[in-house]
Amino acid sequence: MRVHLIWIVITLFLIPTTAFAIKWERGGIDIMFSSEVSYQDITGNEEKSTLQEGWLYTENLILDLKQELAEKAKFQGYGHIRSSNDLQQQIAGRDWMFVEGYVRLADNLDTPTRYEIRAGDYAESYTPYTFNTSLLGTKAFYKFGEWAKVSTFWGKNRDEKLDAYARYSAGGRVELYYKEYLTIGGTFVYTDVARDSLEAGSTVGDQYNQVFGADLHLKLWQDRIHLEAEYARSIYNADRRDDTLMDQGDNAIVVRGDISPVTNLKISAEFERVEPWFNSVLGAASADLQRSKAQVDYTPWDFLNTMLMHEYSFNKLSDHSLEQYRTHTHLTSFSSTITPFLKREDVWNSLTVALQVDHTNSYTDDYPRTTDQDDLTANCTVSQTFPQWNYSLGYTHARNWNRVDKTSEFYSHAPTASLGITYPWLALMWAWTFNASYEYKEYTLSGLIDRTYRGDGGLALSYEKTRSTLGLTVAMEYYDNASGSPLGTADNMSRTYGIAFDQVLKETEAFTANLTLRASYKEYDEDAPDQDYNEGVYYCGLTVKF
Amino acid sequence: MGVNKGLYRSGIGIIFLLSFLISAWGAAADEPSITSARIGAKELMRQSEVTVIKEDLTRDREVLIVGQAQGGGPQVEKVEVSLDNGQTWKEAAGRERWQYQFAPLPNYTYYLTLRVTNADGVVSDPKRFGTTRLTYLPITLTELIQQQADELARAYMSKNLERYMGLISRDYQSMPPGWHRLRRAIENDFRSLNNITLRFTVNQVFNLKGTIMADIHWRLTYAGLLEPKEGYVEIHFDPADHLKIILQRKDLYFGSVIIGHNGSVLVTSVFGPPAFEFTVTDLDKIGATFVSVRVRFVSGGVVQFDGNVTLTETPPRSGTFTGSRTFSAFPALSTITATYIDEITSDWRRNLRRTDTFP
């Protein structure tokens, strides 16, 4: 640990001499290095704290190389390495880790429009039913004029050792365009777990899945009508080592559209059906669910926005479903934003009142029912912004009716308030924030009451001339857990105090160095013996970028 | 009478619809207006709040606003930009296609509005564009996502449901599917957990079209947990909606995934008709009332039954769940397998499958 402290001190002294830019005519390399050292001191019941006692270090090194090879050929190489003994910063307890790395070639590095080839860590988003996640591998796309785009990828899970299996994925997508009105897409993606990579602790079998998808996006009537549709079919096998498991095929479909016949009105509708055996390739689709949704957004006047939505959904769409009974859910939502003095030229024009009411009703088809409940939530928030301060006042009421388990029925009241003040004084910029909230929750059958009090406040002081920022925070939370109940957990209170100092040591176009010093102290008190603990964190961090 | 009432209602509906259409054509009368305004990939039109970070600046460390305007018949004469809600105006470069750049102050909020003047001297009402609060934060995208993740952790730790759900997009997709289902899952967590400590570390951030995808490590403890839980969650943030969350997958830090004890499942035969009883013991599920196990009945190499069986907590709040199922016949060489998933991740990556087979 002493080595790291010495390293920070040495770096601080080296800053004036290392202030140079690694740039050349058609490229350059950005180097960012940060070194952080902290001491964490935990007293009392140490097992209740997530922090580690003792000295911790974290070092990050980021290299970002950019080179223009030709007018339409730009290269980037990026690497991020981290060394740490902090469990929060480590992956699976490793002291060293390659956080991210890739190389890529594109016509434009900020927003590639014609082509891109990338290898290393990447993310790709085709459609929700087919593929939208990150992998380790390679991806590429090429756009033919303004009428077609072809994309492809290959990759595997990033951490084979951690997952205890290797899963390979590959696929491609073709998009055809007709001006800006119509886009038609076709996608094929598959994923396959390598059988020889499976270990005794592997939590998946020899899994195989492939998805075919077709989608359409249509804009009509000067952008007043939008129509989107997607169909996908998957063929999935959970474990090909098991002869009794057959390939399972099912479909997913979504159709959504909206129309704005007038500028202040939008009517939307959506239908989605994802059959039980449908499995997207690491996608986000919700399996075994059919839902229909209608929504109206209406702004009758500039100062009033309203939204009304209703959605009905159910699961167990077919015999393929694993569920024994169907669950129906109705959601109704209303929201409105009112700025009553919008046209005034004074501070009242920012006064905003926001209302939100949500009602959910869900029940199962079985008898006696395993689910049968209603939830109602109503929220009202008033906020206003002045030249040097702003405030927000809110109130939320929630009510639950549970006809299966009466003991969990409750209602709650939760007022909130927050205040922000920013003003210059004594050549400093002062920024104060205060938040307070209270929640009262009563279980109707037992009469048990949960109360929660929360409050926090902060001050950020910045001095622009020396680029210094000083932050002070105080937070306090008190939970009165089911008072009077022998089943309730013990009441508890936490208090947190913090101070942080950020100093820009040097900032030029080619070089920046920031120093951060931070200390925080948390006290946790519980109304039960031997449960209290305290956490002290003392932190020093240096970030150098050139 | 009923028909008349129906006609009357239909008539009122048609009148409303016509009034909307008429007002639409009225509102769409040719006036000069801004048709687009962006900073990089960030849309400014109809956005009340936009945050600009280091990656959004030009090489000269300036904010570059690029847009298009139309004169409503006559040509565009000039486009003007105000950064103080219309108190002072600066002329942008260009006409139908225009741009404006300025050096932003860090942590300062600008009130951006725009207006267009056409060749006839008609000036558009700045309120047609509205006011966009533009704040420059001198941080990188990774740092911005870390701030958002910290805010999420604070809301979860303080069991502040409204604050937590305020960070979730109403278009939330999974897991679980939909904003309201997530709200219920979080509410259940807050009902059953105390003294929560949750920390996020952002490892990778990918800026894709329409979404920011981040791989985030989390570490969690709460009262009664024997040792901290940890995992990797992939979170998608919506850059057009205050970086609200639209998707969470992989190792979830909330909902039914939170475990501290290893569950177990037991299959036993019941005398009499060929029935089997299934028992799950999982102290993490105390008070859950119901859990389900997946049962597969294979006879002669053919799957006769493959589905879920719901078990009921007996006695209440015991963490022990029992249930049974009767089969019409149970010939020799038949097996029945019950699988209980003790942990659920959205891609089935780290599930703990507890399986028992009979015989």
Q: Please check whether residue A347 is in contact with residue A386, taking contact to mean a CB–CB distance below 8 angstroms.
A: yes
Residue B320: burial class (beta carbons within 10 Å; 0-12, 13-18, 19+): middle
Mean pLDDT of A468-475: 78
A386 located within any domain: no
B332 in reach of chain A (CB within 8 A): no
Domain with CATH 3.10.450.50 in chain B: 141-257
Chain B nearest-CA residue for A243: B301
Write the single-letter amino acid at B331: P
Domain with CATH 2.60.40.650 in chain B: 33-136
> Which of the four CATH numbers 3.40.50.2300, 2.40.128.20, 2.60.40.650, 3.40.50.300 does domain B33-136 have?
2.60.40.650
The architecture that CATH gives domain B141-257 is Roll (3.10)
User: For residue A134, which residues of chain B lie inside 8 Å, CB to CB?
Assistant: 204, 206, 213, 215, 234
Tell me the per-residue pLDDT of A183-210, one tens digit each, with 9 for 90 and over: 999 999 999 999 888 877 676 788 889 9
The pTM of the full predicted model, rounded to 2 decimals, is: 0.77
A445 in reach of chain B (CB within 8 A): no
Nearest to B307 among A322, A358, A405 (CB): A322
A253 located within any domain: yes
Handedness of CA B226, B232, B234, B237 (dihedral sign): positive
Mean pLDDT of A454-468: 77
The range of the structural domain enclosing residue A235 comes to 114-285
Domain with CATH 2.60.40.10 in chain B: 264-358
Tell me the per-residue pLDDT of A219-250, one tens digit each, with 9 for 90 and over: 988 788 999 999 999 998 888 887 777 888 99
Q: Please check whether residue B127 is in contact with residue A302, taking contact to mean a CB–CB distance below 8 angstroms.
A: yes
A3 CA: distance to closest CA in chain B (Å):
25
A529 located within any domain: no
Mean pLDDT of A44-70: 84
Mean pLDDT of A431-436: 85
A277 located within any domain: yes
CB A263 to CB B24 under 8 A? Answer: yes
User: For residue B183, which residues of chain A lie inside 8 Å, CB to CB?
Assistant: 377
Per-residue pLDDT of chain B (359 residues), as tens digits, is 444 555 455 555 555 554 544 444 444 446 888 888 988 878 888 777 888 888 788 767 789 999 999 888 888 999 999 988 888 899 999 988 999 999 887 767 788 999 999 888 889 888 788 888 888 887 788 889 998 999 999 889 888 888 899 899 988 887 777 888 888 888 888 877 777 888 898 989 998 888 899 999 888 887 767 677 778 889 999 988 888 999 988 888 887 544 445 667 777 777 666 778 888 887 766 666 777 788 888 877 777 787 778 888 888 767 788 888 877 766 666 778 887 776 554 444 444 566 677 77
A4 located within any domain: no
CB A324 to CB B309 under 8 A? Answer: yes
CA B222: distance to chain centroid? 24
The architecture that CATH gives domain B264-358 is Sandwich (2.60)
CB A322 to CB B21 under 8 A? Answer: no
Q: Is pLDDT of A483 > 50?
A: yes
B262 in reach of chain A (CB within 8 A): no
Domains identified in chain A, total number? 1
A2 located within any domain: no
Residue in A23, A34, A88 to test binding to B, most B beta-carbons within 10 Å: A88
User: For residue A379, which residues of chain B lie inside 8 Å, CB to CB?
Assistant: 162
CB A262 to CB B349 under 8 A? Answer: no
Helix (H, G, I), strand (E, B) or coil at A368: coil
Q: Is pLDDT of A50 > 90?
A: no
Structure tokens at B307: 């589905």
Nearest to A396 among B162, B217, B289 (CB): B162
> What confidence score (pLDDT) does residue B157 get?
86
A463 located within any domain: no
- Confidence band of A18 (pLDDT split at 50, 70, 90): very low
Q: Please check whether residue A158 is in contact with residue A135, taking contact to mean a CB–CB distance below 8 angstroms.
A: yes
Residue in A102, A203, A323, A371 to test binding to B, most B beta-carbons within 10 Å: A203
Torsion of CA A77, A80, A81, A87, to 10 degrees: -160
The β-bridge partners of B38 are: B43, B66
Query: Quick one: which H or E segment has residue B25?
Result: helix B2-27
Mean pLDDT of A99-122: 92
Residue in B160, B179, B343, B354 to test binding to A, most A beta-carbons within 10 Å: B160
> What confidence score (pLDDT) does residue A332 get?
95
| Residue keyed to tokens 């223009």 | A68
